[in-house]
Amino acid sequence: MLADYPTRPASCNEEEAYMKPFNVFTPRSVSDASLFLEKNQKDARPIAGGTATVIMMKERILAPNYLIDLKKLKHLSYIKFNKVKGLRIGSLTTHRSIETSRAVAENYPALREAFASIGNVRIRNAGTIGGSLAYAEPQCNPPTILAALGAEVVLAGVKGIRRVDAHKFITGIFETKLKPNELITEVRIPRMPSGSSCKFLKFTTRSEEDKPSATIACYLQIDAKHVCSAARLVVGAVGPRIYRCKKSESILIGKRLTNRLLADASEVCTDKIEALDDIYGSPWYKLEISKVLMGRGLHAAWNEIKESQS
């Protein structure tokens, strides 16, 4: 029963004194957390690393009466790799753990690159993969690379478990497919078959730690006849959500790849993207940068596959 796990007042230092007072609930299981969310839908907010939630609370963008502290759910922090089933990452796994994982580096180098370029090492040591996805900030790296890798996001709520494709999970700025009583518990990434490659690229206007103007991730699979059998091309950080470049993918799938074909796919990768005008660039600028990045990523993936097949 939830009554067995009372909430406690949070202690704030002087710097945090302007935050609205709140209580902390510490669940002992995912089901405890889901039940608490179900009963306090408008007043509760889950927190893991806190890299985003605490900032939003300080700015009074969020003012929950309860924070659900997930840190004690240590069973949700893991990285497991299987040569047949692929990669499974628990939602409380930190960005730094993914960055330094040998299994990730050896089998999903683009995933490592995406997580290694998130903010600075302090943020990567605190932030979690589940928190990043649930936060759904447009400039986050994880959604772009996870969509290109064909990942699934596993959600648990009071009505059970369900899975959502990573490229469909984020629906807008700070908006996701999460229901009010659900938590992200795991991210599942299929294995990378032979003849496949994935690349992640980002562009920032200032330091590497700055938020990007654009990110791209591209996945290609080429069969023994050098024909593209699968492609997943994704653009992120440009608009309110990530975008699958279906028009570009259709240009490549079923064709023998050439420089011209890759150029054509890159040119239309921003088709139907709703670009935002903000401090990271104008809509035109972001779209043009995305085309350049996509071209570079596609060529890098193609060349890597060709080298492995030679």
Give the right CATH number for 196-309 from 3.40.50.300, 3.50.20.10, 3.40.50.720, 3.30.390.50. Answer: 3.30.390.50
pLDDT surpassing 50 at residue 93: yes
The two beta strands, 23-25 and 66-69, are: parallel
Architecture of the domain spanning 74-189 = 2-Layer Sandwich (3.30)
Of the two residues 146 and 10, the one the predictor is more confident about is 146
Class of domain 2-69: alpha beta
Helix (H, G, I), strand (E, B) or coil at 261: helix
Write down the H helix ranges in the chain.
Answer: 30-39, 53-58, 95-100, 102-107, 109-116, 121-126, 129-135, 142-148, 166-169, 246-252, 259-267, 283-309
Per-residue model confidence as pLDDT tens digits over 226-238:
899 999 999 999 9
pLDDT surpassing 50 at residue 201: yes
pLDDT value at position 5?
A: 47
Domain ranges of the chain: 2-69, 74-189, 196-309
pLDDT value at position 14?
A: 45
pLDDT value at position 51?
A: 73
Q: Copy the structure tokens of residue 171.
A: 């629906």
For 68-91, what is the mean pLDDT?
A: 95
pLDDT value at position 244?
A: 97
pLDDT value at position 298?
A: 98
Mean pLDDT (the chain) is 91
Per-residue model confidence as pLDDT tens digits over 4-39:
445 555 555 544 446 678 888 999 999 999 999 998
Rounded to two decimals, what is the model's pTM?
A: 0.90
pLDDT value at position 9?
A: 56
